[in-house]
Structure 1
Amino acid sequence: MAMRLLFNILAISGAAMFAGVMLAIGVILGAYWKSLPPQGFLDWFSQNNHFVAQVIPFVVAPALIGLAGSLYISWGDTTGRTLWLVASACIIAVLAVTFAYHLPSNAQFAAKAVPLDQVSGKLDSWLLLHSLRIVLALVASILGIVAIAR
């Protein structure tokens, strides 16, 4: 029972923290980035991106550990397993979008490799896909709550 509780707490709070960190990035930093001229944004990003990147492992690790443990412990319960599988799929989708789009885009922004006339459009795309990541992490957290509350 104690391990189940620990894994459930890690899964739910980790996914919720991940959603919260991404929400702060999107709302606070996203609005700030959009207020900057393209060169100013690239300059800011090249100097500060590492600060944003440093926080992510602190929320992803608990989410992944908690989801894996919760899924394992709930494997014999069809409904629980399904809820934890979908919650896990949400976080895996967040990571897939992150690795496929956001990390390469971040590297381009940090290297100032995006032409100035394309910065605004690329940032808009970045923020749109970032919104998807926020929703997916939030859904993962909600599904975890549903899994333990039923």
Structure 2
Amino acid sequence: MARLFFNIVAISGSAAFAGVMLAIGIILGAYWKSLSPQAFLDWFAQNNHFVAQAIPFVVVPALIGLAGSLYLGWNDAGRTLWLAASACLIAVLIVTFAYHLPSNAQFAAKTVPLDQVSGKLDTWLWLHSLRIILAFAAAILGIVAIAR
């Protein structure tokens, strides 16, 4: 029963994380691209905290679910898939901590020169797309792991 719980939390948490990031990318990304560089920095400085507050609600369950699924399924055939799912989420966190969080801080502090905002936002969105793909991959790998 505990194993099923962790499997469900791992899959739904990873999928929810991907979904939240997809919404950010599609809804906010398109909006941000429509703004002038100064308007984008102003918006980000005012509203970034709303986006940041949503992420822990999906990241924490995904991490707990993956850790529990990996631990409880260590001796099973699905171990490699749970390891791969965990690697996907770890990769998301690495990109987040290495690029997105520092960039978000720069956007919020308005320290990005106006002539560099568009390029930096394009890079932000491209790497954000990578994070979405990796989070969805984690969920899919979890589904395959329990289907074995």
TM-score, scaled to structure 1? 0.98
- Percentage of matched positions with identical amino acids: 82
Q: How far does residue 17 in structure 1 lie from its aligned partner after superposition?
A: 0.2
Q: Deviations over 1:59-103 (max 9, x none)?
A: 0010000000000011011x3110000000000000000000000
- How many residues align? The count is 148
Counterpart of 2:64? 65
Q: How does 1:114-125 map to 2 (within 5 A)?
A: 114-125=112-123
In the alignment, which residue of structure 2 is the partner of 1:41? 40
Matches within 5 A, 1:1-150: 2-77=1-76, 79-150=77-148
Give 4+ residue runs of structure 1 displaced > 3 Å after superposition: none
> Once the 2 structures are TM-superposed, how far is the Cα of residue 53 of structure 1 from its aligned partner?
0.1
Q: CA deviation at 1:112?
A: 0.2
Structure 1 residues without counterparts, runs of 5 or longer: none
Q: Distance in 2 between matches of 1:92 and 1:18?
A: 13
CA distance in 2, matches of 1:92, 1:55: 19
Using the alignment, how far apart are the partners of 1:22 and 1:96 within structure 2?
A: 15
Please give the TM-score of this superposition, normalised by the length of structure 2: 0.99
User: Could you list the per-position Cα deviations for residues 16-51 of structure 1 after superposition, in whole angstroms to 9, with x for gaps in the alignment?
Assistant: 000000000000000000000000000000000000
- CA distance in structure 2 between the aligned counterparts of 1:9 and 1:58, rounded to whole angstroms: 15
